Amino acid sequence: MLGYVMTEDRGATDRLLAQLADGFEAEGRRLAGAVQINTELPDQIKCRMELRLLPSGEKITISQSLGALAQGCRLDPDGLERAVHHAEKALEAGAELVLINKFGKQEIEGRGFRDLIAAALSEGIPVLLGINTKNFEAFEVYAGDFAEPVEPNLTAMRDWCLGKM
């Protein structure tokens, strides 16, 4: 019950997962996890990354401003860990679906949402997450044949989730 979505366009996966969460929340579904909101900033090359926590809607900034010439990772690990903690509490409160913005570098290294994914799956709660091509090989090592691709459109994503809940 682990599904993943991949898109080609920058930010498209984030927008799809956020729209999916909006629809399910409007129906009263119990969600856990986080969806990403990217905000373009004037005079900045990189956008501001925030996670909208499910189900509270609280937003946590997960990007750091490292300067215009910085080449390193700009993820704020403290912000991500706060989001993970909130998601764990939402899962414990009785979520029926977990949505996660991305299986990224933190998850590859055994941190981030990785333990939450395992906890949800061990409880029989479906997880749908975003993945990019850069991290896909490591995701395959993590998930093996257990994960299934979901077509990156709202109808297919919604159908997949409803078929697993």
d(CA 160, CA 158): 5
Q: What is the pLDDT of residue 61?
A: 86
Rounded to the nearest integer, the mean pLDDT of the chain is: 89
> Which one is predicted more confidently, 151 or 41?
151
> Which one is predicted more confidently, 40 or 115?
115
**pLDDT tens digits along 67-115:** 554 444 456 778 889 999 999 999 999 999 999 999 999 999 999 999 9
Domain ranges of the chain: 2-34+80-164
d(CA 49, CA 71): 17
The third-level CATH classification (topology) of the domain covering 2-34+80-164 is: Rossmann fold (3.40.50)
147-161: average pLDDT: 98
3-state helix, strand, coil in the chain (%, to 5): 40, 20, 35
Q: What is the pLDDT of residue 40?
A: 61
> Which one is predicted more confidently, 79 or 7?
7
